[in-house]
Structure 1
Amino acid sequence: MLPSLPSLVASLALLTSTAYSLPRNVLSGDDGRLTLSAPSSIIMSKRDTACNNSPALCSKSYSQVTHMGAHDAAFLRDSSTDNSIAGNQYFNATLALDAGLRLLQAQVHNKNGVIELCHTTCDLLDAGPLADWLATIKGWMDANPNEVVTLLLVNGDNQDAAAFGDVFTKSGLDKYGYVPTGSSGWPTLQSMISSNKRLVTFIASVEASAAHPYLLPEFAHVFETAYEVTSLAGFNCTLDRPQAAGAATAALQAGLLPLMNHFSYQALSSAIMFPNVGDIDTTNSPSTSTPGALGLHAQTCQTQWGSKPVFVLVDFWDHGPALETADKLNGIEGKTTGRLTPAGAGGSNKKNSAGSTNVGTVANLGMGRAALVAFFMAAVMLF
């Protein structure tokens, strides 16, 4: 007889730890990972001359820049989650921001009336309240006034804008919220920085709100490519969502910004998938000739669309390194400043603080635990 759902939930709670994967202040080195810090004089010099780590980007409009992003940025595969196979990143959100990523994506659910960062279900991987995560991102933005950041939240339980607005207000991040004018295109990064309205927030499955106009319904502004790819040959540039927008060319003409999903899953069956770590160095490679590589995917989409992707989402962003592709698209390769790289970035078989080794494939994990976690991941497909 199959175990009951409550039994599975209880078992999963024992096997998969609840993870409060909050971003940390990496300049203080308080998480033990960062080996590089910068004197305040260097930081101020960078702030005076660069926008999003490069002077060349200051005059570019928001829609002319490729923003590299961490897919499921709050859900980590490290010692804080007991190396959960559901985790999509090795390093937390502020480490990603310090390294140069400017797009953070995460999924939220309603947990007893609280908007919680939960990966598919809160029983699978719980990264704590959204408000706490946002507050730490606000701290990073306070310390980095020349940076434009984008958030993309998957609204798992279709909560309304008022609920999100309360959380953004509580965190203090609402002060940075950018509101499109509707009468013209996107502003330059410098103008967003000068006005201090330098946070762009997209939320899926939410209606626009006059009370919280900085919370933007995702598919009124963005279209995405496919996000359920299980082979390196599966990446394409076809519009997947919103289907009402038609083809990608029509969506671009309508002013939607293109988001290129570039992460793959390892499939145990047609309905059970996990983030694919085994191929990550190929997946995130800047190569424009290797099948399945990030660089080739971006080049292909740029050719087909007649414009480069504005947003790119990847898993395990430190591998590749993924940022190299964005830098090439933005024309700033080798011309960036102020980035901080966490210790162990891009390394294979990284060890956590307890000395155990992060695994690369589902096969290494022990199929009992993998199958149990897979039950929940099959219930609501990974975003």
Structure 2
Amino acid sequence: MKTSWEAWNGCGVEVVLGFLWLAAMFDVSSGLYLPRRRATICNGRSELCGRSYGSTSFLTSHNAFAWSPNPLALARTQAVDVPVQLRMGARVLQAQSHMKDGRLHFCHTSKHIFGLFDGGSVLDFLRKVKTWLDANPYEVVSFIFTNPENVSIPGVWKPIFDEAGITPLAYVPPARPMKRTDWPTLSEMIDANKRVVVFMDKGADGSAGGVVDFVLPQFQMIWEDPFSPTDPNFPCRIHRIEGPLEDNDHMHLINHNLNRNIIPWDLGTVLVSDFVNSPKTNSMNSIMAHVAGCAPFAQGRAPNFVLLDYLDVGDGKRAVDQLNGF
């Protein structure tokens, strides 16, 4: 006759297999223990599930943190907050960082604004996105962050991603840099629960204290046309790019955010986001004309990232849907 221990130990394999099955069926990374199923709708469309990340166009919010409903807030680039931007279809959030009082914030200080627009800490920003990700488990979201002060990636940035709960969701590519044609499909990323992609303009190559495997070097994998444009025709050329990949192996981003200089008579340059003309800038005609202007530099491909100010104005989401074939 078996003792109680022997009886339990005899079914130990079955117990372990049972736990593994439960782990596969439930999303434990979020701490919510929500039942999971394979992705059949990806970023809101069943047709996108079989599309590779490198062949998808994403609505991209320029300086997503810099939002205000006040039209007199000259430093703003968005009129609605980040959760609303995500609900409206933004799947890429771009933001500029600076150290402030010993903490990493999203803010910008440059010739583009009067002084400082402080969007709060990076940690608070990421926590808001994590809350949205937990509630929307079949979405792939990307970050394109600037790191102008070359703040340490492993020493400062990674602990913030860890604390916000983003790290377990972050996609780690098999190679750095990775060709646009080598990206997995959206459903593969979602099913693996690796549905956050992080790009950094500076320091991700190891020059900011070392490499973090999920923080990817932006310009080694994405080229972009001129930023801070002031010409409403948005003339295109490859402006920022790095090797070692060929141009054609990069994804690409169009900066479709119009600015105007508020200093008269050539006395200087202070650029602000042109809210007055945003309905025209964010119109289908303007966006598609910009896309067509960049197509010769991308072998006719649609841009992966369509970066806009004032996502709540105009046809940004409709234009990106059209670029994706809908």
Alignment TM-score > 0.5, same fold: yes
Aligned counterpart, 1:160: 152
CA distance in 1, matches of 2:99, 2:283: 36
What letter matches 2:61 in structure 1?
A
CA distance in 2, matches of 1:169, 1:304: 38
Match of 2:170 among 165, 170, 177: 177
C-alpha spacing 1:47/1:261, structure 2 compared with 1 (3 Å): farther
What letter matches 1:60 in structure 2?
R
Which runs of structure 2 are paired with 1:342-357 in the superposition (5 Å)?
none
Aligned counterpart, 1:315: 309
CA distance in 1, matches of 2:198, 2:72: 29
Which runs of structure 2 are paired with 1:220-299 in the superposition (5 Å)?
220-233=220-233, 235-242=234-241, 251-253=246-248, 255-269=249-263, 270-287=268-285, 293-299=286-292
The root-mean-square deviation of aligned C-alpha atoms, in Å, is 2.4
2:284 partner SS = coil
CA distance in 2, matches of 1:145, 1:83: 37
Structure 1 residue 304: Cα displacement: 4.4
What letter matches 2:204 in structure 1?
E
Gaps of 5+ in 2: 1-34
Which runs of structure 2 are paired with 1:1-383 in the superposition (5 Å)?
49-78=40-69, 83-120=72-109, 124-162=116-154, 163-182=156-175, 185-208=182-205, 212-233=212-233, 235-242=234-241, 251-253=246-248, 255-269=249-263, 270-287=268-285, 293-305=286-298, 306-332=300-326
Deviating beyond 6 angstroms after TM superposition, the runs of 4 or more aligned structure 1 residues are none
- Deviation string 1:263-296 (CA, Å, 9 cap, x unpaired) is 1111124521110011111111112xxxxx1121
CA distance in 2, matches of 1:304, 1:128: 37
TM-score (norm 1): 0.67
| Structure (1 or 2) with the larger CA radius of gyration | 2
Whether contact under 8 Å (1:252, 1:258) holds in the other structure is: no
What letter matches 2:190 in structure 1?
I
- Answer with 221-230 or 46-55: which moved more: 46-55
What letter matches 2:99 in structure 1?
N
What letter matches 1:151 in structure 2?
F
- Deviation string 1:167-213 (CA, Å, 9 cap, x unpaired) is 10111111111011127700000000000001000011113357621
What letter matches 2:280 in structure 1?
T
Structure 1 residue 300: Cα displacement: 2.7
CA distance in 1, matches of 2:239, 2:293: 16
1:105 partner SS = strand
CA distance in 1, matches of 2:101, 2:129: 24
- Deviation string 1:100-132 (CA, Å, 9 cap, x unpaired) is 110100111011221111122795111111001
CA distance in 1, matches of 2:109, 2:80: 20
TM-score (norm 2): 0.79
Whether contact under 8 Å (2:170, 2:198) holds in the other structure is: yes
Structure 1 residue 237: Cα displacement: 2.3
1:132 partner SS = helix
Whether contact under 8 Å (1:158, 1:206) holds in the other structure is: yes
Whether contact under 8 Å (2:39, 2:190) holds in the other structure is: no
CA distance in 1, matches of 2:291, 2:40: 28
CA distance in 1, matches of 2:262, 2:319: 30
CA distance in 2, matches of 1:238, 1:303: 9
What letter matches 2:289 in structure 1?
L
Structure 1 residue 99: Cα displacement: 1.3
1:220 partner SS = helix
Gaps of 5+ in 1: 1-43, 288-292, 333-383
CA distance in 2, matches of 1:217, 1:120: 23
CA distance in 2, matches of 1:186, 1:301: 22
CA distance in 2, matches of 1:83, 1:206: 35
2:120 partner SS = strand
2:317 partner SS = helix
1:294 partner SS = helix
Structure 1 residue 303: Cα displacement: 4.6
Percent identity, aligned pairs only, is 31
1:282 partner SS = helix
C-alpha spacing 1:196/1:226, structure 2 compared with 1 (3 Å): same
1:232 partner SS = coil
What letter matches 1:296 in structure 2?
A
CA distance in 1, matches of 2:79, 2:59: 16
